[in-house]
Structure 1
Amino acid sequence: MGVPKRTFLYIARHYLKNFLILLIGLSLAVVFIDFLQQAQRLHGGANRKILYAFYTWEYMVALIYPLVILMAMAWTQISFIYRNVFVSLFSFGFGRRQILIPFLASGVLIYLVFTGLQMTSFAYGQDRARMILHADRYKDALNNLFFKYNDSFVYASRLDPLHKALLRGMIFEVKKNQVVRTLRFDEARFHDGEWIAPRALVRSKRFDTEGELTGFEDKELKNMILLKGYRPKVFRKIYEGGTFSLVDSLAALHLLKKQGLSADKVKAILYNKVLTPLFALAMMVIFFYRTPLYHRFVRKEQLWTALLGSALLTWALLFALFRLGMNGVIDPDLGQTLPILILILYAWRLDRRIRRQEAPLARLRGNGAQLG
Structure 2
Amino acid sequence: MKLFEKYIIQNYLKNFFVIFIALDLFYVGVDLLTNYNNIPDSANLQILYALFQGMNAVNYVLPLSIVFGMIVTYFGMIKSNELICMYASSISKRSLVKPFFITSLVLTLFYIGLNCTEFAYAYEYSSNLKKYNSISNSAEDLFLKNNNQYIYFKKLDPLKQVAYDVTIFEVDNVDLTKVIRASIATFVDNHWILEHVSITHKPKISSLDDEGFRIENVEKLKMMENFKPKIMDNVYQSEYALSISDGIDALRFFDNQNVNTSKIKATLFYQLFFPFFAPFLIVVLYYKAPMMGRYFNMALVASSFAFVTLIVWSGLFLLSRLAANGVILSEIAILFPIILLVGIAAYFYSKR
Q: TM-score, normalised by structure 2?
A: 0.92
1:184, 1:201 within 8 Å by CA — same for their partners in 2?
A: yes
**How far does residue 215 in structure 1 lie from its aligned partner after superposition?**
7.2
Which structure 1 residue ranges, 4+ long, deviate > 6 Å from structure 2?
136-140
The answer to whether 1:127 aligns with 2:112 is no
The answer to whether 1:252 aligns with 2:258 is no
RMSD of aligned Cα (Å):
2.2
- Please give the alpha-carbon distance, in whole angstroms, between the structure 1 residues aligned to 2:178 and 2:73: 67
- Please give the alpha-carbon distance, in whole angstroms, between the structure 2 residues aligned to 1:48 and 1:329: 38
Deviations 1:71-102 (A, max 9, x none): 11111111112222221111111110001011
The answer to whether 1:220 aligns with 2:219 is no
1:69, 1:107 within 8 Å by CA — same for their partners in 2?
A: yes
1:1-372 equivalence runs, <5 A:
5-135=2-132, 141-198=138-195, 199-208=197-206, 216-220=212-216, 222=218, 223-241=220-238, 242-354=240-352
- Please give the alpha-carbon distance, in whole angstroms, between the structure 1 residues aligned to 2:277 and 2:137: 39
- Please give the alpha-carbon distance, in whole angstroms, between the structure 2 residues aligned to 1:149 and 1:107: 42
- Please give the alpha-carbon distance, in whole angstroms, between the structure 2 residues aligned to 1:136 and 1:89: 56
CA change 1:251–1:139 in 2 (3 A) is: closer
SS at 2:36 equivalent: helix
CA change 1:49–1:200 in 2 (3 A) is: same
- Please give the alpha-carbon distance, in whole angstroms, between the structure 2 residues aligned to 1:130 and 1:34: 12
Percent sequence identity over aligned pairs: 26
SS at 2:37 equivalent: helix
**How far does residue 120 in structure 1 lie from its aligned partner after superposition?**
2.6
> Which residue type is aligned with residue 217 of structure 1?
F
> Which residue type is aligned with residue 224 of structure 2?
L
2:126, 2:135 within 8 Å by CA — same for their partners in 1?
A: no
- Please give the alpha-carbon distance, in whole angstroms, between the structure 2 residues aligned to 1:203 and 1:275: 49
Deviations 1:152-182 (A, max 9, x none): 2211211133543322222223333343433
**How far does residue 63 in structure 1 lie from its aligned partner after superposition?**
2.1
User: Which has the larger helix fraction?
Assistant: 1
2:178, 2:199 within 8 Å by CA — same for their partners in 1?
A: no
CA change 1:239–1:137 in 2 (3 A) is: farther
- Please give the alpha-carbon distance, in whole angstroms, between the structure 1 residues aligned to 2:84 and 2:158: 60
SS at 1:296 equivalent: coil
2:138, 2:156 within 8 Å by CA — same for their partners in 1?
A: no
- Please give the alpha-carbon distance, in whole angstroms, between the structure 1 residues aligned to 2:55 and 2:120: 8
Name 1:359's counterpart in structure 2.
Answer: none
Alignment length (residue pairs): 348
- Please give the alpha-carbon distance, in whole angstroms, between the structure 1 residues aligned to 2:156 and 2:212: 30
**How far does residue 141 in structure 1 lie from its aligned partner after superposition?**
4.8
CA change 1:22–1:138 in 2 (3 A) is: closer
CA change 1:138–1:13 in 2 (3 A) is: closer
- Please give the alpha-carbon distance, in whole angstroms, between the structure 2 residues aligned to 1:139 and 1:100: 45
2:125, 2:136 within 8 Å by CA — same for their partners in 1?
A: no
SS at 1:336 equivalent: helix
Name 1:358's counterpart in structure 2.
Answer: none
CA change 1:180–1:118 in 2 (3 A) is: same
SS at 2:145 equivalent: strand
SS at 1:42 equivalent: coil
2:194, 2:221 within 8 Å by CA — same for their partners in 1?
A: yes
SS at 1:51 equivalent: helix
1:206, 1:217 within 8 Å by CA — same for their partners in 2?
A: no
> Which residue type is aligned with residue 273 of structure 1?
Q
SS at 2:56 equivalent: helix
- Please give the alpha-carbon distance, in whole angstroms, between the structure 2 residues aligned to 1:346 and 1:64: 24
2:136, 2:158 within 8 Å by CA — same for their partners in 1?
A: no
- Please give the alpha-carbon distance, in whole angstroms, between the structure 1 residues aligned to 2:160 and 2:73: 50
Structure 1, gaps ≥5 residues long:
355-372
**How far does residue 36 in structure 1 lie from its aligned partner after superposition?**
0.9
- Please give the alpha-carbon distance, in whole angstroms, between the structure 1 residues aligned to 2:263 and 2:305: 32
Deviations 1:13-72 (A, max 9, x none): 111111011000111012111111111112322111111111111110232211111111
SS at 2:116 equivalent: coil
Name 1:366's counterpart in structure 2.
Answer: none
Deviations 1:200-240 (A, max 9, x none): 3132231439xx9x774323153332221112222222222
**How far does residue 144 in structure 1 lie from its aligned partner after superposition?**
0.7
CA change 1:196–1:350 in 2 (3 A) is: same
Q: Mark the structure with the bigger radius of gyration.
A: 1
